Amino acid sequence: MPDQTAAPDAAPRPHALLARIDWEAAGREAADLLSAYVKLDSSHPRGRTVETADFLQEIMEREGLETRRYATPEADKVNLASRLRAERPTGKAICLSSHMDVVQAVASDWTFDPFSGEIADGYVYGRGALDMKGMGIMELLAVLLLKRLGVELSRDVLLLHTSDEETGSTLGAKLLVDEHYADLDPGFVLDEGGSGMRGFFSQGDVFAVSVGEKRIIWMKMIAHARPGHASSPDPDDAMHRLVRAADKILSQLPDEHAAGAVAEMIYRLGGERAR
């Protein structure tokens, strides 16, 4: 809880704010929230996010955060936004984004049931604990701590919990951008996949910013040969030819080329060491 002895108009410095946080209690709260969150099965192919949104929204509203739900054409998929407002913002909001849907899980592959939310040996076990309900809870708790401590903000903090990311984001981030961007309009977005490195490159602390990702290339191969039969395989059968062709493609590494963004990164971070 905030230090009630502090003058209401005093703007605490960042290190003073950090010292006021009970990090052990915050860690326990995060673990308990994550455990409850991963128990909610939002896995595909269904990818249902109504219950996850209910869970998060109840926490936010209990803490006094404003929330808004964004419906999708599928009744069991919904997106959720919450905003912690700055009294005198000097810029657009910072958006902390995460997705509520997760990929499928086969229980036999897991030490604990993938939707048990088991806490054991210092870990929370569950599908989505890493991708990316864990980060969603970290972002949520960061905003809760900002509000509980009464931190004076220079911009709004927008929490975004989306659906459908694991299947292309059509009913999640894409829908929000296409239909509701004016409501959100952030200055920048922090999402999954980034990392920070300290003291490794010549430029000091470096944080990764994604400007692109690998995309799918669909290929269709046709072999003109006898169809063959599994009981009497023949190297000249059509299926054998397809297997050999696929192996040739997979065994050939792509040619190295200096993509613009990569070349710029290597240049800025210090040449061959960055490479």
Please say whether the beta carbons of 161 and 172 come within 8 A: no
Do 84 and 65 belong together in one domain?
yes
Do 211 and 186 belong together in one domain?
no
Do 183 and 85 belong together in one domain?
yes
Average pLDDT of the chain, as a whole number: 89
pLDDT at residue 254, as a whole number: 81
Do 60 and 135 belong together in one domain?
yes
Do 186 and 207 belong together in one domain?
no
pLDDT at residue 48, as a whole number: 97
Question: Is residue 9 domain-resident?
Answer: no
Phi, psi torsion values for 57, nearest 5 degrees: -65, -40
Last residue of a domain, one of 143, 165, 192: 192
pLDDT at residue 10, as a whole number: 45
Helices (H), the chain: 14-19, 23-38, 50-62, 133-148, 173-184, 238-251, 260-269
Print pLDDT tens along the chain (275 aa).
333 333 334 455 666 778 889 999 999 999 999 999 999 999 999 999 999 999 999 999 999 999 999 999 999 999 999 999 999 999 999 999 999 999 999 999 999 999 999 999 999 999 999 999 999 999 999 999 999 999 999 999 999 999 999 999 999 999 999 999 999 999 999 998 777 777 766 567 777 777 777 778 888 999 999 888 878 888 889 999 999 999 999 999 888 877 888 888 888 777 676 66
Question: How far apart, in whole angstroms, are the C-alpha atoms of residue 37 and residue 133?
Answer: 7
Q: Residue 53: exposed, middle, or buried by beta-carbon count in 10 A (0-12, 13-18, 19+)?
A: buried
Domain that holds residue 56: 14-192
pLDDT at residue 196, as a whole number: 78
Last residue of a domain, one of 159, 192, 225: 192
Phi, psi torsion values for 68, nearest 5 degrees: -150, 135
Do 67 and 87 belong together in one domain?
yes
Do 32 and 112 belong together in one domain?
yes
pLDDT at residue 117, as a whole number: 96
Do 134 and 269 belong together in one domain?
no
Last residue of a domain, one of 192, 221, 246: 192
Domains held by the chain: number = 2
Question: Is residue 73 domain-resident?
Answer: yes
